[in-house]
Structures are given as structure tokens and as C-alpha cells.
Structure 1
Amino acid sequence: MNLKQIIRKYFFKNKIQTTTVGTLNESSRVNWLEEMLNKIPFGSKILDAGAGEQQFKKFCNHLDYVSQDFAQYKPEDLNSGLQMVKWDYGKLDIISDIASIPVENESFDAIMCTEVFEHIINPIEAIQEFSRILKKDGFLIITAPFCSLTHFAPYHFYSGFNRFFYETELEKNGFNIIEIIPNGNYFEYLAQEINRLPNMATQYSNIELNKTEANNISQLKVLLQNLSDSDTNSSELLCFGYHVLARKK
């Protein structure tokens, strides 16, 4: 069966249905982070590197939580790409460059760095700094996109990171990778961008999709849901991002 036949099969033989395809990027990441943070021993000192609005502090009640960020992002400064409507860092414990954090060597039992690497000019320097300030056997929790649209401009320098980046640079800088898993897959990523299509059409083409076009998008999402449900390993081509758990040697 060729692609055209597959599309016709799902467009015309399946009823339009509600799908979750392409919508679970953030929730999957948050669930994984909560699970990893719960595994860190009670009372451990954790650094939230590039903490932003400190949204994961709520999962660290059993830990000695320390937040760090460079604290320079202001969404009102540049009208380009995807920007937050508002942004509030709150009270940060440390304001510094992520590659030069003013603490002693081996200061932390754990570090988490979530969706930050694409916003750092040299993320390898951040890994080197994490190695310096993390204790032996300390936990390192990282998430970053595999592919991403421009966001948080002007502080968006890379579209994303493949697993091979982590496997190379973490090993080189004194870490053992315990777990590295993809978030989503090729079909989920396509669906995520298709979900954006009505807004993108309006914003960048000044076209509002009509009812038939919106219906076609819904039907296409049914196809992508079925393909994702039958997925074997398309994440090796494309996914939302990787979740990484490592420990300092």
C-alpha cells in the first residue's frame, strides 16, 4: 500500500476523532522530571541550572533547592519567533552565567537543567561547569529539544541536540549516562507542527483556514495518531527531545 492509499484509507474510512498526537511534549517531559527528582535522596542539595520561573521547584520539596539563571530574558524586548506573554524569574538564589557559577567545587549532590541548552552559546562549557560543581556520584538531569522553533529570542542559538551530543560530551566530561530516552517520535513531531498550522497560517500568511481545511487537518491527525501508535523506532530520525539521567564518575 503506497502513501496515497494509506491517506485515503484513514481519511475516508475512519471517522474524525479526538487525538492526543503531537500534544504531549511538555506533559511527558514534566512527568519524567517528577519521576527522576523523586528518586534523588531526601536532603540532597540540588541546583536548578537555568531555572527560569522555577517551575520544577514544586518537585523538590524533599531537597535543598538552589536556583540559578542569568536573568536577562525579557519577552517585550524583541518581537521575533515564539515569545512568552510575560515572564517572572521570581527570587533567584544565584544570578550568573551558567558556565561560571560562583560556588566551590563539588557543591551539589544533583543538578537539573531543563530546556536550557538551546539558549546557551556554548553548552559544552555548561557541561564542564556541571562536572566541576557536582559531587562524585551526583545526579545530572538534562532535557533539551531535538528540534525546536525559534523561541525566547534573542537567546535561541541552536534548534536542538541529538543523543550523540550527550553520549560524546557527557562521557568526555566525567559522566556515566544512566538513561537517555526520546520524548515522542517522528509522527508526534509532525503532528505538533500541524497543530500549530492554523495559527501559523494566520500569523505568517494572513490566511485563516476554512472549515474544509480545518477538517483535513483533523483527518491528517487521525492518520498520524495511528502511525504513532504503530511506531517502532522513528525517534531515531526526529523527536521532541531527549531526557538524560547521568551520574558523575
Structure 2
Amino acid sequence: MESLVLALMNYPAAISLVPKAFNPGIASPTWITRKLLLHAVLQHAPALKGKLLDFGCGAKPYKSLFSVDEYIGVDFQGEGHDHSNEQIDVYYDGKTLPFENDSFDSIFSTEVFEHVFNLPEMLDELNRVLKPGGQMLITCPFAICEHEQPNDFARYTSFAIRHLLQQHGFEVVQQEKLGTSVQALWQMRITYWNLHVLYKLRNIPVIRSGARLFFNSMMNAAAWLCNAILPFSNDLYLNNLVLARKK
């Protein structure tokens, strides 16, 4: 409860610094997923303290949500993702993190684990560089299309991600499914239409922009309404969120 209160107090300033791509308006095809992720990270960010490692940091889109002493971003230089205009402090080779043992008080990683081809090995590395008792906040998708091809390797159920963490030196402090079954189904429908139907208008920029604005706004609004009135289920969901602690 205390972390939620602190998050809400910092909400206006912190949210205003998050890039639009990660805090989109209702006309965005990723509005459902991005809003769920943003609010979840904001709520749990106060749990991370001291010297923080952002694993797979990219452009560090959620950096403003954290109040830490030092924020260091590490990423992998590989195909499938363009790192230009990003804020990477250190690159790693895909196998070993270039830091001493017990270097960090906390770790944050969002929407990265599905791109790590050797996740069990990297979980050992993350455990190694995290101080005993340090906490790690992660999110990773469950229902999502392939992306950043060919660097897309896995989808983890809530049970699988918990098992992996426990097998590699972490205890799960808190775990959440982000998004309901209704939201997941609507998000996939919206994604399909944007990638395979509205995309055909790409050579008519004005019409395409207008069509996307109208279609995405209407579909996102319909998703919100359906989610409010239909029976709750999260057997199918959009993202995993886990707060874990090094044993």
C-alpha cells in the first residue's frame, strides 16, 4: 500500500517524462498493453532502491518512474533491434554481464526476457550481479505477436516464469498477470488490423492516418467497454509482472 501511495504522489511528473511510444493515447494500436505496463511499473518502482541495473534497457523509457541513486542500462548488440538513439551505457556479449559480483542493489527488466535465447544462463548472471536481498522487477509478454525478428525466442506462462526464477536463486515476492482475457483478445484483434489491413493504406498517408485514428480509437474504446461489462477472466492475458528477491 505504501509503495502505491508513493507512486500515485509521483504520478504527474513521472508520467510526463515517459516517451509517447510507451505512454500512448487511445488512438494508438498499443494503447491497451502500454497503459497496463506503465501503470504496473509505476506502482512497483518504489520497491527498487540504490544502484539499479536496467537489463535490456533500450531507450530507458521508464527511467523517470524510479528514484534510485544510480541507473545503469545494459543491452545486447544483436540483430532484430536498432539501438540508434537509445541510452545504453554498457553492451554485453549475450552470455556474461561485465560487472563484479554483488554490484547492484536492484534490477529492472521490461519486455526483454522473450528476446533472451539463453534465459536460464542469464538469470544466473543477473543473480550474480545482484546483492543478497536485492530485488528484481521484470515484465515479459504472454499474448503478443512475434516481434524484433529473428530475436524473439519464447513466451512464458505465469507458472513458467515463476519456476525459472525460483530455479535460479530468486524468491517471488509478488506476481501479477497484466490484462484480462477480454483485453488480450481485443489487443490481438487491433494488432492484426493495423499490421495486415490498415497497412495496405501505407501509400496514402493522409487517409491511412485518418483511418488509424478513427479505427484504433473506436476499437480501444470498445475494448474498454467490453472489459467493464463482460465476466472476468485472465486465463489469457497480455503480460507477466514479477517482483523477485535474491535469496
TM class, shorter-length: 0.7 to 0.9
Provide runs of 4+ in structure 1 moved above 6 Å: 18-22, 215-223
Could you say which structure has the larger radius of gyration?
Answer: 1
Which one of 119, 125, 133 corresponds to residue 123 of structure 1? 119
Supply the distance in 2 between the matched residues of 1:22 and 1:95 (Cα, whole angstroms).
28
1:141-180 equivalences under 5 Å are 141-158=137-154, 160-180=155-175
Percent identity of equivalent pairs: 26
Q: Which residue type is aligned with residue 40 of structure 1?
A: L
Larger RCO: Structure 1 or Structure 2 (Cα < 8 Å, ≥ 6 residues apart)?
1
| Runs of 5+ unmatched residues, structure 2 | 1-25, 203-213
Give 1:8's aligned residue: none
Q: Does 1:33 align with 2:41?
A: yes
Cα deviation code 1:68-123 (max 9, x no counterpart): 001334657xxxxxxxxx84223x22110354101111111101111001111121
Preserved contact between residue 74 and residue 87 of structure 1 (Cα < 8 Å): no
Supply the distance in 2 between the matched residues of 1:134 and 1:216 (Cα, whole angstroms).
45
Which one of 86, 89, 94 corresponds to residue 86 of structure 2? 89
Which one of 195, 215, 222 corresponds to residue 190 of structure 2? 195
Q: In the TM superposition, what is the alpha-carbon distance from 1:127 to its structure 2 partner?
A: 1.2
Supply the distance in 1 between the matched residues of 2:230 and 2:29 (Cα, whole angstroms).
12
Q: 1:31 to 1:119 in 2, by over 3 A?
A: same
Q: Which residue type is aligned with residue 234 of structure 1?
A: S
Preserved contact between residue 194 and residue 217 of structure 1 (Cα < 8 Å): no
Q: Does 1:23 align with 2:31?
A: yes
TM (normalized to structure 2)?
0.73
Q: In the TM superposition, what is the alpha-carbon distance from 1:39 to its structure 2 partner?
A: 3.0
Give 2:131's aligned residue: 135
Q: Which residue type is aligned with residue 66 of structure 1?
A: I
- 1:171 is paired with a residue whose SS is helix
| Runs of 5+ unmatched residues, structure 1 | 1-17, 77-85, 207-214
Work out the number of aligned pairs and report it.
213
Q: In the TM superposition, what is the alpha-carbon distance from 1:240 to its structure 2 partner?
A: 0.8
Preserved contact between residue 46 and residue 67 of structure 2 (Cα < 8 Å): no
Q: 1:220 to 1:25 in 2, by over 3 A?
A: closer
Q: 1:52 to 1:222 in 2, by over 3 A?
A: closer
Preserved contact between residue 71 and residue 89 of structure 1 (Cα < 8 Å): no
TM (normalized to structure 1)?
0.72
